[in-house]
Structure 1
Amino acid sequence: MRLLILVPLASSAVALAILPTPTPALVPRDTSASPSPTAAPTDIYFSTTTYDIIPGVTNDHVTIAQKTITLVIPTCSHTVTPDKNGHVPPGTCGALYEYYPSFGAAVLFSLIFGALTVSHIFMAAKFKTRFAWVVIMGALWETISFTFRSISTRFQQSSGIELVSSLFVLLAPLWVNAFAYMVLGRLLYFFHPARTIMSIPASGLAFAFVALDFISFVIQLVGGSWSGPNDPTNKVMQGIHIYMGGIGLQQFFIFIFLGLAIKFYLEMKAFERQGSLDAGKKGWMKLLWATYASLGFITIRIFFRLIQFSSGENASTNGLISHESYFYILEAVPMVFAISCFLVVHPGTVFPRGEKMPGLWGLIRGWLCCVKQRREFKGSEDGVQLVGKYEELENEGRPPGYVLTPRGRVDLVY
């Protein structure tokens, strides 16, 4: 029995020994580098592409095919969890500031500008200085700016609050600037015997510079609104360049204005030496110096902004945007002094109470009347009465103590 079992095993062994053993085919090793997984982008900023489909229109008059619009939206990935105030480190997604903004400093300056606003309202009401609403608006806009900045320090993920604060602080100085122009126009009207400087009438001077200031205001508003914290980089840079052009234009107008102010000063001093000015009217000089000082502080602030924006947006190389102290020292403090100058020497203490300077329409009407009178004078045989009417027209509204004589000079009336 065992022999019968061994017979097949023996035959199998003989077959294996006689027949050749097949060699297995070897697959060569793949020497190419194995693909590595795609690394995640390290930059927090990227673009998201969306597709919007505009359906087509078909009617009896026109056929418009369906269109697909591709929108590339810049966005960023949040890599850091904001703290309780919404702050994240500079350079990360959602960072609105290049530093940790101070809540206490923002509240302090909002209170200071609020106090300046209330003080100007009180002084304007006390002396009935109607045009003081312009400087009141400047102080009020500064108050609004720092109030929103105080809120922004507690909600640092809200770009809207930060944008409101930035726009108001960028544009508020233009109100104070315009007020300085109006002050010089009224100094010229109420104190200068001829009421003109370099053939420019007082009303025309004030109107021209306020109009130029408004042009600068519009340019800066456009530039500031394009420089939101979440706007694309190219749009932010365009907004910065537009804003820099606006404040550069503002400073150019200030230089021209200062030249006219110096001319006014020199002429007034000449009138004093000649004894042509009323001895009781000496307040013009201190108000003029207050105007100089206010524009000087505004100039400090303008140069700070020009240097800040021209130095780039890199916080590591531009210390003016990475340290909050520069903002308060070179932006907030100069504006506090610029507004305070007109409290130290308030126009209501210098100009006649209740008096007002004619506006643009009064200037045009007076010019047309003068032209008409001159034409009638040239065509009239009896010009004596017309000369009297012309002198009366020219002297209408002049400060007490000044009249225009037929000889063309200004004399005092006692």
Structure 2
Amino acid sequence: MLPHKLLIRTARRLARRDDWGSDWGDWNDWGDWNDWEEEDENCVKVEPGPNGNVPLDACNSYYNYDPQFAPAVATAVIFGIFTGIHIVQAFTYRKRYAWVLIMGSLWETIAFGIHAAGAKDQQQIAYATVWNVLFLLAPLWINAFAYMTFARMVLYWHPEGKVGGLRAATIARWFVLADIICFIVQGVGGIMANPTSSDEIVRVGLNIYLSGMGLQEFFIVVFCGLMYAFQRRCAQAEATGHDLNRRTNWRPLLYSLYGVLVCITYKVRIIFRLVEFTGGVDPAENPIPFHEEYTYALDCFPMMVALLIIAIWHPGRFLIGPESEFPSRKEKKAIKRQKKEEKRAEKEARKEAKREAKRHKRRHHDDDDGLP
């Protein structure tokens, strides 16, 4: 569900399309944002019906449809089950970084729990706003988990330990940072585009949010390029008889990550369809924003599939042993301290060798002096 008021105003314009005839005209015919703001001032508040539902064109309408309680509860339960499964798998396979995936699944669970509450109290703006933000941002956690898993695959299987000139640790660091940036940008845009915002704020929030979505898609495309380069290099190494020296195959996990990213990208395309609606699309031709079932089928379901894929082909089944993980901060300090000690010992050994050479030279000189 994208910015509510913007969709409401578009629907109102569409409801009046009979006054225009069959010619829709261009975007300029729709007037500027100030006209839309004045129109909002003239709209009518409607007495809420059961569960607080009002018509779409009412001032006190905070949803693009009449949200249903039972589907929201069922979806929250399914995401809750996935959350429990991934918590158990994180402990079973001892994958500490799986907390990122758990957060994504947990946010989906909380979002639909709040959506269920909002279905029973549709005049509660907080429910609509919090559900909207959590629902839009939860996939970013899953996206970050895919980045972190691939970086460990490079560390574990790649013959050179780097792909595209980037070492495994660098891939993890920079792509997770990119995901955090996308998270912040989309979060700001989603919060600005809440049901209580003015039209101008909604417009700015929409642009910010779409910028974050476009940025996320750009990073996914670049990331898929690195995955393909990894795939080619590992396949080439196997074809030439190079022993990757691992107990498991890299292909199932890589293909599962492809599947996860397809689910996330599919979700991105659906959001852009909603954005296209703001340009003035007939609801009869594009009913997606006005029917809740599309939200479940085209947004929730891909995320469920992504969580299911990870549960079946969990990284813990393939990335086995300490060499599959980046060293912890404590381990890094220990390694650094060991290297310093080795350098110090090496330096002392060189000094001792020099001193011994001097002593040997002095003894040789003394022996020469004692010759008859």
Task: Return the match for 1:89 from 38, 55, 69.
Answer: 55
Unaligned runs of 5+ in 1: 1-43, 45-71, 383-414
Using the alignment, how far apart are the partners of 1:163 and 1:114 within structure 2? 21
TM-score (norm 1): 0.68
Using the alignment, how far apart are the partners of 1:143 and 1:252 within structure 2? 27
Deviations 1:146-176 (A, max 9, x none): 1100000000001111100000010000000
Deviation at 1:352, TM superposition (A): 1.5
Using the alignment, how far apart are the partners of 1:160 and 1:214 within structure 2? 25
Using the alignment, how far apart are the partners of 1:144 and 1:265 within structure 2? 36
Mark the CA change 1:315 to 1:148 in structure 2 (over 3 Å): closer, same or farther.
Answer: farther
Deviation at 1:75, TM superposition (A): 6.0
1:348 aligns with 2:348: no
State the match for 2:199 in structure 1. Answer: 233
Mark the CA change 1:236 to 1:362 in structure 2 (over 3 Å): closer, same or farther.
Answer: farther
1:133 aligns with 2:86: no
Using the alignment, how far apart are the partners of 1:171 and 1:359 within structure 2? 28
1:357 aligns with 2:326: yes
TM-score (norm 2): 0.75
SS of the aligned residue for 1:153 comes to helix
Structure holding more strand per residue: 1
CA contact (8 A) 1:204 1:363 kept: no
RMSD: 3.2
Which structure 2 residues correspond to residues 284-363 of structure 1 after superposition, within 5 A? 284-312=250-278, 317=283, 318-353=286-321, 356-358=325-327
Q: Which moved more, 1:96-105 or 1:75-84?
A: 75-84
Using the alignment, how far apart are the partners of 1:320 and 1:365 within structure 2? 55
Using the alignment, how far apart are the partners of 1:170 and 1:358 within structure 2? 33
Using the alignment, how far apart are the partners of 2:332 and 2:289 within structure 1? 46
Deviation at 1:275, TM superposition (A): 1.7
Query: Could you tell me which amino acid in structure 2 is paired with residue 333 of structure 1?
Result: F
Which structure 2 residues correspond to residues 161-240 of structure 1 after superposition, within 5 A? 161-240=127-206
CA contact (8 A) 1:78 1:93 kept: yes
Larger radius of gyration: 1
Mark the CA change 1:226 to 1:296 in structure 2 (over 3 Å): closer, same or farther.
Answer: same
Deviation at 1:108, TM superposition (A): 1.0
Aligned residues: 309
Query: Could you tell me which amino acid in structure 1 is paired with residue 180 of structure 2?
Result: F
Deviation at 1:362, TM superposition (A): 8.2
Task: Return the match for 1:122 from 72, 88, 93.
Answer: 88
SS of the aligned residue for 2:243 comes to coil
CA contact (8 A) 2:156 2:319 kept: yes
Using the alignment, how far apart are the partners of 1:197 and 1:363 within structure 2? 23
CA contact (8 A) 1:91 1:98 kept: no
Mark the CA change 1:319 to 1:135 in structure 2 (over 3 Å): closer, same or farther.
Answer: same
Using the alignment, how far apart are the partners of 1:278 and 1:81 within structure 2? 68
Deviation at 1:237, TM superposition (A): 1.4
CA contact (8 A) 1:315 1:322 kept: no
Using the alignment, how far apart are the partners of 1:363 and 1:242 within structure 2? 39
Unaligned runs of 5+ in 2: 1-11, 13-37, 351-372
State the match for 1:251 in structure 2. Answer: 217
CA contact (8 A) 1:203 1:358 kept: no
Using the alignment, how far apart are the partners of 1:283 and 1:112 within structure 2? 30
Query: Could you tell me which amino acid in structure 1 is paired with residue 124 of structure 2?
Result: S
SS of the aligned residue for 1:283 comes to coil
Task: Return the match for 1:283 from 249, 252, 256.
Answer: 249
Mark the CA change 1:310 to 1:100 in structure 2 (over 3 Å): closer, same or farther.
Answer: same
Mark the CA change 1:230 to 1:75 in structure 2 (over 3 Å): closer, same or farther.
Answer: farther
Mark the CA change 1:205 to 1:362 in structure 2 (over 3 Å): closer, same or farther.
Answer: farther
CA contact (8 A) 2:157 2:246 kept: no
Using the alignment, how far apart are the partners of 1:130 and 1:79 within structure 2? 51
Deviation at 1:363, TM superposition (A): 8.6
